[in-house]
Amino acid sequence: MATSRWTAAPARTASPRRRGAVLERAILDAALEQLSTVGWRGLTMEGVAAGARTGKAAVYRRWPSKEDLVADALQAGLPRLEKAPDLGSVRQDLLALCRQARDAMYSRPGFALRAVIHECDPTQAERFRAVIFEGVVEPTVKLLREVITRGIRRGEVRSDADNGYVLDAVPAMMMYRAKVCGSEWSDVDLEEMIDQLMLPLLRPRGV
């Protein structure tokens, strides 16, 4: 009896279907990738779905709008600045903290955030105000306050320097120069800002 030339092909194993937090993480990562490569205007829900290898319906089920998706992606992805440097001098502490902030600005989520800031119209930008303040400005100011308070205790910093105007100087300068002047904040740029702006501003009177 002749045997058949044909043999059954091995059954394909279906790839496991992602659900819940795993799928959401993939979608948020895809949104950050889109923002950092094609920008706010180029980002589409379809493109995010393709990047996450899921269907568009899975994206819309969780985030009804592009703004909602991007706000959650930024909140989940922004690097956390959680510990103030303590290197023995206010100059070294400020430099280390500014390097941390600079690295966060130029991370993938940082590029994504700058795409939002640069490209959104005022109405859209309002949607991200809390994300920017709570995720970037507030943590940076908190750590700056720790550095300056420690400097006051050591006698390096004038006693009234712990105020909103002084604390806003570093994040305001870094964001302004990055957005308006296109500065990438090299180590030399950071040192010049600390030496020419912050140290004269913080120095005790009469010193």
Question: Structure pTM?
Answer: 0.76
pLDDT one-digit tens code per residue, 50-94: 999 999 999 999 999 999 999 999 988 888 888 899 999 999 999
Rounded to whole angstroms, the Cα distance separating 81 from 31 reads 22
Could you tell me the domains of the chain? Answer: 20-73 (1.10.10.60), 90-202 (1.10.357)
Q: Which of 62, 58, 61 is nearest to 76 (CA)?
A: 62
Please state which of the ranges 50-59, 73-82, 96-105, 197-206 shows the lowest mean pLDDT: 73-82
pLDDT one-digit tens code per residue, 119-167: 888 777 777 888 888 888 888 899 999 999 999 999 999 999 999 999 9
How crowded is the C-beta side of 153, counted as CA atoms within 13 Å?
A: 7
- State the residue for tokens 């923002």: 35
